[in-house]
A and B are shown apart, each in its own frame.
Chain A
Amino acid sequence: MSSVALRTDGSLARPILIALAMLVAGVVLGLPLAIVLVEAFARGPGTYLAALVDPDTIDAIALTLIVALCSVSVTTVFGIAAAWCIARFTFRGRSLLLTLIDLPFSVSPVIAGLVQVLLFGRRGWLGPFLAAHDVRIVFALPGIVLATVFVTLPFVARELMPLMQEQGAEEEEAALSLGASGWQTFRRVTLPNIRFALLTGVLLANARAMGEFGAVSVVSGHIRGATNTMPLQVEILFNDYQIEAAFAVASVLALLALVTLGLKLALERRQSVLLTTKGSAP
């Protein structure tokens, strides 16, 4: 560890820096989490549970799960395909493609919602066509899923691309030269090598999908019991003078975030073990 030199020397720097870091982490990261939990249980576990079994909240939870399932599936397939062509091939336009894959990361979620309205809304580009065929996209499940997919699209690709680039194609080439088909190679060689990173990506995409607010807010229509996801339900309860209930639903999302972080930590550890054992093999 490189810390040796500094540890012996900066006798004062070390405790001061550690204290500062703890202060920053505590104020910036710890307090928001703490206040959600404190407020949620402010009136006791009874109120807390009552808030969570409210029918509209149950519907919001169910819708959130469905939206996450649909959008994460798309994100996963896209992520694998994108990582495959970016990490295994060089071609003209590759760096442009990389930029486009990242684009949803830096586009405002509000824009992700806005474009759905402009495209699929009654007065949007495809509006008349959709109305004529009685297809509903915005203010219904498909619009919410589309907006969520837009926002989460790069998540899996981003986890896989650097890993697959680092791993290189030697193992796959070996399998192919031994006569394995493309799909067999992917399933037996690639997938096991990337499985933990893939799960990490899925996990992060899922967290984002369940928590997306801006994009979904624009396309939801806020119909209670029908098109409200959990983050929207938090806002609604907050505005309904039901602060404890709002924080109760928020705390579920916060706990979900903690579980996500825990799982991510575990997965990353296993991925690094996988890499080290592979790396040390002759």
Chain B
Amino acid sequence: MSHALGRPHLVIPGFRLSLGLTTGTLAVLVLLPLAAMIAIGLANGVPAFVAALADRRVMAAFRVTIGAALVAAVVSAAFGLLLAWVLTRYRFPGRRIIDAAVDLPFALPTAVAGIALTALYAPNGWVGGLLAPFGIKVAFTPLGIVVALVFVGLPFVVRAVQPVLEDLPAHEEEAAHLLGATPAQTFRRVILPAMAPALVTGFTMAFARGLGEYGSVIFIAGNKPMLSEIVPLLIVIQLDQYNYTGAAAIGTLMLLASFVLLLAINRLQAWAGGR
């Protein structure tokens, strides 16, 4: 990064200043702290690092977290696609309100979402009470984690897909229709391919966010080791047991996962942009 070569086009000034400010801030506030975490995670050598992660409970937490984030991202993708479609294609009363409400999870503190969802989905809550007679338990089970992560992930999908749907030229759909395609065929052959990159981007962002989510999940998850304990909570537990290396090791693996997902998203966006 430090040897980034400036090739500013024309006369626009401020390259050094803005780049310096950006990289400087990132280095001090983000990269240095993360480097400290990685160094501490690896302080006892790679075998100890691997051993800290190979622990059954840690592995289970990763399984739970990745599984729940994945399921939640799929649900978010489906719900998000539906919302984006309806919001761009139809005009109906309340459309504006729903459109604005999609951003609610961005603005609502995760802890507030956590206690609200727990109150809703607990066996004696509004929704939990409806599901209880069918033997469906949401709060304090892995399903609760999925519910929280769908809330958190939904806007990522809607906001990724919406602009693409808006830009999708109507004449392509109309042409398909005129050529005798059913609406389902039009959707599958014309619309879905056009917005696939955006949908996958939204899905990946929801997934990445779901992996790290903490505030909304810990209230609703039940936090049962091996069953509904998420990785970020395990980091906190390790810390509270004075196990700094363990906490840092788990944090490092999560960081790696985030980084890989981010690279994937950037690739996806480049691919989508290049189409």
Contact = CB atoms under 8 A, between A and B. Distances in A.
A278 interface: no
A118 B248 contact: yes
Contacts, number: 327
Q: Looking at chain A's contact residues, is the secondary structure mostly helix, strand, loop, or mixed?
A: helix
A41 to B, nearest CB: 14
A234 interface: yes
Nearest to B98: A25
Nearest to B248: A118
B36 A214 contact: no
Given A107-B258, A261-B100, A89 B8 contact: yes
Nearest to A79: B22
A258 B168 CA distance: 30
A89 B9 contact: yes
Interface in B143-200: 150-151, 154, 168-170, 173-174, 177, 183
B36 A125 contact: yes
Contacts of A28: 79, 150-151, 154
A72 interface: no
Interface in A1-57: 1-7, 9-10, 13-14, 17-18, 20-22, 24-25, 27-33, 35-36, 39
Nearest to B258: A106
A168 to B, nearest CB: 11
B6 A110 contact: no
B110 interface: yes
Contacts of A9: 177, 183
A247 B115 CA distance: 9
A119 interface: yes
Contacts of B177: 5, 9
Contacts of B112: 36, 211, 231, 234, 250, 253-254
Contact of B151 (A4, A32, A85, A253): A32
Interface stretch (B45-53, B88-96, B221-229): B88-96
Interface pairs A-B: 9 shortest CB-CB? A211-B109, A2-B170, A108-B212, A115-B33, A214-B214, A213-B215, A257-B107, A182-B13, A81-B21
Interface of A: 1-7, 9-10, 13-14, 17-18, 20-22, 24-25, 27-33, 35-36, 39, 74, 77-78, 80-82, 84-86, 88-111, 114-119, 123-125, 146, 149-150, 153, 169, 172-173, 176-177, 182, 185-186, 204, 207-208, 210-214, 217-218, 230-232, 234-235, 238, 246-247, 250, 253-254, 256-258, 260-262, 264-265
Interface of B: 1, 3-15, 17-19, 21-23, 25-26, 29-34, 36-37, 40, 79, 82-83, 85-87, 89-92, 94, 98, 100-117, 119-120, 125-127, 150-151, 154, 168-170, 173-174, 177, 183, 205, 208-209, 211-215, 231-233, 235-236, 239, 244, 247-248, 251, 254-255, 258-259, 261-263, 265-266
6 contacts: A93-B3, A103-B262, A110-B235, A114-B235, A119-B36, A260-B107
